[in-house]
Structure 1
Amino acid sequence: MTALLDTIEKHERKFLIGIVITAFLISAAYSIFYKIQPIVDAEAYDFIAQNLVSGEGYRLETDVPLAKDRVIIRVGPGYEFFLAAIYAIFGRYLWIVWLFQAAFHAISAWLVFAIAKLVFKESWHSLIGIGAAALFAFHPDLIIASSMLLTENLAIFIMLLTIYNAFSYFEKTSTAKAVLLGLLLGLLVLVRANLGVLLFPFLLAFYFKKQFLHLLFFLLLFAAVLTPWTIRNYSIYHSFIPTAVVSGNNFLAGNHPKASGELDDSRYEFVKKYKSYDLITADKQMFKDTLLYIIQNPAHFAKLTIYRTSTYFSFLRPTGWWPYLEGWEKLITLLASATYSIALLTLGAAGFLLMLKRRVGEKDYSLGGQNRFTIFLILFLGIPLAVIFITVETRYRYPIYPILAMLSSYAIYAIARRWESILKLTQISFLFLTLNAAFDFARNFSRILEKIGKL
C-alpha cells in the first residue's frame, strides 16, 4: 500500500491530466454515440434558446402575450442563455453543446481535485485529490448528465468554480476574490436557483476572516448579477422575480395530502384550482396554501421530509430509466449507477463522520483548519437541504456528488493509512444506508417491481 501511495504522489500530475482528458473523451464519445435528443425540460430549454437567437426574445410560447408565456415557470434563465450563445456563434448543432459540456465535466474533475487540496490541507496526500477527481469524472450519472440539454452539467461546473474560489479566498483573502465569488454565485443562481443555498457557508468564510468590507463587495456583486434579470421581470410581471417562478409549484408538488415527496402525477389534482389565476398569482397562492397546509398538518410534513431524506440518500435510486436506453444498455447503466451510489454514499458518509470527528475531537488542527472543515461540512449539509423540504428526484442530488467524491476519497486515504476508527465508521455508514435502502424498498415495493418488470 505504501508503494502505491508513493507512486500516486510521485506521478500526481500525470494521473490528474489522464483523468481530465479521459473524462472529456468518455463524455464526448457517449454524447455523440447516443445523440440524445431534447425532450421535456431539455426541449423547452432548447426552444427558448432558439427563440433568443431568432430575435423572439426569452419566449417559450410566441403566440401568447409575454406576461402569459409559461417561460417564466421554467428553471432559468442561465442555461437558456448559454445555449443561445452557442447557437448564435456556431448554429444549432447539438454536438457542439455536447463538446462544451464534456469540457465542463472534465474541468470540473480538475476542480474537485483542487478543492480537495484546499479543504484537506492539514492531512493532504495526492490520493485524496486523485481519488476524488476519478470518482467524479467517471460517475455514470454525471457522464449521462453531460450528454443532455439539462442544467445540471453547467450548474455543477459553476458551483465547483464558486466553491474553489471560496476556499481560495479563505486561504488568502483579497478584494478581487471576494468580487469574483459574488459574480460566480450570481451566475450559479441564474442557472440553478436552489444552489443559492451556498450563500450561507460562504458568509461564514467572511465572518471567520473578519473581512466585512469584502463581504459587502461580495454581496454587491452577487446582487448586481441578478439585478438586470430582476428588473426585466418586474417590468413584465410587476413582481419581484430574481430568476423564475417555480417555488410555489415545486413546494406544492412535494407537499399536499397525497404527496409522496417525489415529483409524481398526484400533484395535478391539486393544481387544477389555480388554472384561473395568472402565472405569478398562481405560484404565490400555491406557496401560501402549501405553507398553510404544512402549518395545519406538521406531522404529515415531517413524514414527507423523512421520506424525501430517505430517497435522497437511498442506494435504490440509480440513473438509467431514460427512454433512449433499452435492454442490456439500460440494465448495465442501472447496475453501474447503483454500484456508484453504494460506494459514494457509504464512503462519503464515512468521510463526513471522520471529518466531523476530527473537527470536534482533535486539538492539533489550527483554528483556520477547523473553520475550513466547518465551512465544508455546512456546505455538504446545505446542498440536500435545498431540496429535501420541497421535492426530491434522483437528478436533484447530482450537485452533492462532487462533495461526496471528496469525502469518499478522504475515507479511502484513511483506510489506506489505517487510521483509527475509519473501518468502524465505514461499517456504521453502510449499515445505516442499507437500512435506509430497505426502508425505501418497503415504501415503494410495487413501484420498484413495476420498474424491474420493464427491464
Structure 2
Amino acid sequence: MLERLWTWMKADGSRAQGDPRAPWRLFWVAFAVRVLYMTLAHTYRIHPFVDHFQFGWEAGRIARSLATGHGYANPFEPSFLGPTGPTAWVPPAYPLLIAGVFKLFGVYTNLSAWVLLFINCVLSALTAMGVWEIAYRCYSRANAIWSGWLWALYPAAMQYAVRWLWEMTLTTFLFTVVLVLALRMRSINRNAVASPGSSEAGSQTGAWLLFGLLWGIIALSTSTLLLFLPVCGIWILIGTWNRPHALRNAVLAGIVFIACLTPWEIRNYQVFHAFVPIRGNLGVETYLGNGPGSNGWVMVYDHPNMATNQFELYRQMGELRYAKMRGDAAKAYMRAHPGHFLANTLKRMYFFWFGVPSDAPLRLELPRMLNYGFVSLAGLLGLALSLRNRMPAAGLVAWILVLLPLPYYTVFVQARFRHPFEPFLTILAIYLFQSTGPRRTEAGGQKALET
C-alpha cells in the first residue's frame, strides 16, 4: 500500500523541472480528508457548556455580540449575566469572521460551526501547498513531496482545522503565504533551470503591497507574529536592493500595513479613550502566567471567564483598568520573586518545544507528548543542519524559531501556540532525515524521484 501511495504521489512529478508550484492534487486530497473527518466525526457539534462558551470562546462571545447588534463587546459573560462593555481582548479578524457566519447561518448553531470548520479545512489544505513550495524552493523536490503530503495527511497537522474554532488555522495559512511571497520576491529556487535574476513575484511594487496587506491581516489575527515582521521585511529588502524603487516599495508596504491597522486603532481610541496596541489583555495574561500560585501553566481558574469574582471586577472596572490592575500586580510579583519567574520561564520553554502536560490518561498522553517532542527535536536538528549547509532562507527560518516563542516563554504557553511554526518544523524534519541517507547529486536525486 505504501508503494502504491508513493507511486501516486510521484505522478505529480510531471511538472517542468524547476517549477516550485504545488500540484492541485495535494490540495484536494488534504481538503477532502479534513472535511470528511470533520463531518463524519461530528466535530462541528460543539458542546453547549456554559451557554456555548466552547464555541469560539472569547471570539465567539464577541461574534455573538456583533451579530445581535451590540457591537464589538462582551467577551465573557453568558447571556443571562448581561453586557460588560466594549473589548479589545482579542484582535478583530477571527471574531468578525465568526460574526459574518452567525449572521448567515445562526448564532451558535451546528451549521455555523460546520461552515467555520469548513473554512478552516480550506485554509489548512492551502497551507499544504505553501509547505510544498517552501520546501521545493529551499531544499529539493523530494523534500517538497514528503513535506507537502505529510502536512496533508498527518493527523497532528490537521487537528486544529477540524476541531478548533479559533484563529490558529487562519494565522498559519497567512504566515505560510508570507514566507512563500518572500521567497518569490527574492527569486529563491534551488531547483530552477534558469539562473535566478529577476523577481518571480511579478511587479515588485505589487508584491510589496501584498506583503503589507498580508502582515496587516496577520496583525489583526494574532499580534505575536509581528515580532518577525521587521526581520522578514529587511531580509527581502537586502535581497532586492538593486531592483528599481526597492526602498520606495518597502515604504509603500509599510503604509498598507498601517492602513490595515488604522480603523481598529481609531475604534479603540473612541471607545477606550486610550491607545490600545491591537489587543488589551496582556496585563491579565501576564498575571495568569506569573502571579502567585503560578507553576508554568496558566492559572485558568483565576481567569474572568472562570472566576466569578474576577468577572465582576472586570465588569465593574472596565477592560483597560482591569488589565492594567492585573498587569501591575504581575510586574510587582515578578520583581519581588525573580527566582519564581525564572523557574516558570524555563518550564514554559520546555512546554513549548516538548508539550504542555494535560490530565489525559497516560495511554493517550504519552504518545502525544512523544510525537510533539519528536517533531520539535527533528525540526531543530534540521535547522542546525540547514544553517551548517547554508541552505536558502535557513537564517530567516532560524529567526522565526528564535523570536516568535519569546512572548510564550515569558507569559504562558499552550500547544496551539506552536501551530504557525509547524509547517517549517515539518520541512526541517524531512530535511534532517533525508540528509541521513546516502549522498547523491541533485541530478541523481531528481532522476531517482522520476523513475
Q: What range is the shorter-chain TM-score in?
A: 0.7 to 0.9
Over aligned residue pairs, what C-alpha RMSD do you find? Answer: 3.4
Alignment counterpart, residue 176 of structure 1, candidates 185, 206, 209: 206
Larger displacement relative to structure 2 (226-235 or 146-155): 146-155
Query: Which residue of structure 1 lines up, in the alignment, with residue 334 of structure 2?
Result: 294
Cα distance change, pair 12–293 in 1 and its aligned pair in 2 (3 A): farther
Residues 64 and 102 in structure 2, CA contact (< 8 A), matched pair in contact too: yes
Q: Does residue 1:262 correspond to 2:297, yes or no? A: yes
Cα distance change, pair 290–310 in 1 and its aligned pair in 2 (3 A): same
What CA distance in whole angstroms lies between the structure 2 residues aligned with 1:106 and 1:408? Answer: 20
Cα distance change, pair 331–70 in 1 and its aligned pair in 2 (3 A): farther
Displacement of 1:298 after TM fit?
A: 3.0
Q: Does residue 1:344 correspond to 2:375, yes or no? A: yes
Task: Report the TM-score, using the length of structure 2 for normalisation.
Answer: 0.76
What CA distance in whole angstroms lies between the structure 1 residues aligned with 2:291 and 2:281? Answer: 16
What CA distance in whole angstroms lies between the structure 2 residues aligned with 1:168 and 1:386? Answer: 29
Cα distance change, pair 272–108 in 1 and its aligned pair in 2 (3 A): closer
Alignment counterpart, residue 149 of structure 2, candidates 134, 139, 156: 134
Deviation string 1:238-293 (CA, Å, 9 cap, x unpaired) is 11124321111111111123211221346569969965633102212333342343
Displacement of 1:90 after TM fit?
A: 5.3
Alignment counterpart, residue 40 of structure 1, candidates 48, 54, 62: 54
Q: Does residue 1:167 correspond to 2:186, yes or no? A: no
Cα distance change, pair 212–291 in 1 and its aligned pair in 2 (3 A): farther
Alignment of 1:15-414 (within 5 A): 16-32=23-39, 33-34=41-42, 35-37=44-46, 39-40=53-54, 42-60=56-74, 68-69=84-85, 71-73=87-89, 75-89=90-104, 93=111, 94-118=113-137, 120=138, 124-147=139-162, 148-171=164-187, 172=199, 174-209=204-239, 210=241, 211-265=246-300, 267=302, 277-314=317-354, 317=357, 337-338=368-369, 340-359=371-390, 369=392, 372-414=393-435
**Percent of matched pairs sharing the same residue:** 21
Return the letter of the residue paired with 1:138. L
What CA distance in whole angstroms lies between the structure 2 residues aligned with 1:341 and 1:392? Answer: 14
Cα distance change, pair 237–83 in 1 and its aligned pair in 2 (3 A): same
SS of the aligned residue for 2:220 comes to helix
Residues 286 and 327 in structure 2, CA contact (< 8 A), matched pair in contact too: yes
Residues 166 and 202 in structure 1, CA contact (< 8 A), matched pair in contact too: yes
SS of the aligned residue for 1:146 comes to helix
What CA distance in whole angstroms lies between the structure 2 residues aligned with 1:51 and 1:316? Answer: 32
Displacement of 1:17 after TM fit?
A: 4.1
Displacement of 1:161 after TM fit?
A: 1.7
Displacement of 1:5 after TM fit?
A: 9.9
Residues 287 and 327 in structure 2, CA contact (< 8 A), matched pair in contact too: yes
What CA distance in whole angstroms lies between the structure 2 residues aligned with 1:401 and 1:89? Answer: 33
What CA distance in whole angstroms lies between the structure 2 residues aligned with 1:353 and 1:138? Answer: 26
Residues 72 and 86 in structure 2, CA contact (< 8 A), matched pair in contact too: no
Task: Report the TM-score, using the length of structure 1 for normalisation.
Answer: 0.75
Cα distance change, pair 58–271 in 1 and its aligned pair in 2 (3 A): closer
Return the letter of the residue paired with 2:254. L
Cα distance change, pair 295–358 in 1 and its aligned pair in 2 (3 A): farther
Query: Which residue of structure 2 lines up, in the alignment, with residue 416 of structure 1?
Result: 437
Displacement of 1:8 after TM fit?
A: 6.6
Residues 142 and 153 in structure 1, CA contact (< 8 A), matched pair in contact too: no
What CA distance in whole angstroms lies between the structure 1 residues aligned with 2:82 and 2:356? Answer: 44
What CA distance in whole angstroms lies between the structure 2 residues aligned with 1:8 and 1:273? Answer: 57
Residues 228 and 399 in structure 2, CA contact (< 8 A), matched pair in contact too: no
Cα distance change, pair 344–134 in 1 and its aligned pair in 2 (3 A): farther
Residues 128 and 406 in structure 1, CA contact (< 8 A), matched pair in contact too: yes
Cα distance change, pair 150–418 in 1 and its aligned pair in 2 (3 A): same
Larger displacement relative to structure 2 (139-148 or 260-269): 260-269
How many positions carry a matched residue from both structures?
391
Residues 139 and 337 in structure 1, CA contact (< 8 A), matched pair in contact too: no
Residues 348 and 413 in structure 2, CA contact (< 8 A), matched pair in contact too: yes
What CA distance in whole angstroms lies between the structure 2 residues aligned with 1:243 and 1:130? Answer: 38
Larger displacement relative to structure 2 (89-98 or 158-167): 89-98
What CA distance in whole angstroms lies between the structure 2 residues aligned with 1:298 and 1:273? Answer: 30
Residues 132 and 406 in structure 1, CA contact (< 8 A), matched pair in contact too: yes
Cα distance change, pair 132–336 in 1 and its aligned pair in 2 (3 A): farther
Unaligned residue ranges in structure 2 (runs of 5+) = 16-21, 47-51, 188-198, 441-451
What CA distance in whole angstroms lies between the structure 2 residues aligned with 1:273 and 1:59? Answer: 16
Cα distance change, pair 303–42 in 1 and its aligned pair in 2 (3 A): same
Cα distance change, pair 340–24 in 1 and its aligned pair in 2 (3 A): farther
Query: Which residue of structure 1 lines up, in the alignment, with residue 191 of structure 2?
Result: none
Query: Which residue of structure 2 lines up, in the alignment, with residue 449 of structure 1?
Result: none
Displacement of 1:159 after TM fit?
A: 1.6
SS of the aligned residue for 2:186 comes to helix
Larger displacement relative to structure 2 (9-18 or 91-100): 9-18
Query: Which residue of structure 2 lines up, in the alignment, with residue 12 of structure 1?
Result: 13
SS of the aligned residue for 2:121 comes to helix
Deviation string 1:63-97 (CA, Å, 9 cap, x unpaired) is 9998x426432x23110111223344555622222
Query: Which residue of structure 2 lines up, in the alignment, with residue 362 of structure 1?
Result: none
Displacement of 1:150 after TM fit?
A: 1.4
Residues 204 and 375 in structure 1, CA contact (< 8 A), matched pair in contact too: no
Return the letter of the residue paired with 2:183. F
Larger displacement relative to structure 2 (103-112 or 81-90): 81-90
SS of the aligned residue for 2:30 comes to helix
Displacement of 1:396 after TM fit?
A: 1.7
